[in-house]
Amino acid sequence: DVKVTQSSRYLVKRTGEKVFLECVQDMDHENMFWYRQDPGLGLRLIYFSYDVKMKEKGDIPEGYSVSREKKERFSLILESASTNQTSMYLCASSFSELAKNIQYFGAGTRLSVL
């Protein structure tokens, strides 16, 4: 079974703090993704990576950065957390080959910024 593990289920941070959200997958997937989930808005793509050290902006990258130093690990960084970044964050991974590009999701990290 594919496993996508997010390091924390719940996080509480203060405005201005630097926040790291970690994601690890065990299926040797090339692609990894970070989404945020907000009620009524569905999932919105923040950043994705199709290879080690490669990254591309998604639909809402402002206020975020990412790091992919190893194939299995993809980190989301909030440089200076703000209250409007309070949300559920979901990590996903997939193969690049189109015929096998089903995305597998982690359980999510619920982040509260106070």
Partner 1 sequence: GDSVTQMEGPVTLSEEACLTINCTYTATGYPSLFWYVQYPGEGLQLLLKATKADDKGSNKGFEATYRKETTSFHLEKGSVQVSDSAVYFCALTGEYGNKLVFGAGTILRVKS
One residue of 27, 52, 54, 107 binding partner 1 per CB under 8 A: 107
Specify the residue, 53 or 98, whose C-beta has the smaller distance to partner 1. Answer: 98
The H or E element that residue 13 is part of is: strand 10-13
DSSP 48-87: EESSTT--EE-S--TTEEEEEEETTEEEEEESS--GGG-E
Q: Which of residues 33-72 bind partner 1 (CB under 8 A)?
A: 33, 40-45, 48, 58
x-marked contacts with partner 1 along 75-104 as a string, rule CB under 8 A:
---------------x-x-x-x-x--xxxx
Q: In what order do the strands lie in the sheet with 73-78?
A: 4-6, 19-25, 73-78, 64-70
What residues line the site for partner 1 (CB under 8 A)? 4, 31, 33, 40-45, 48, 58, 90, 92, 94, 96, 98, 101-108
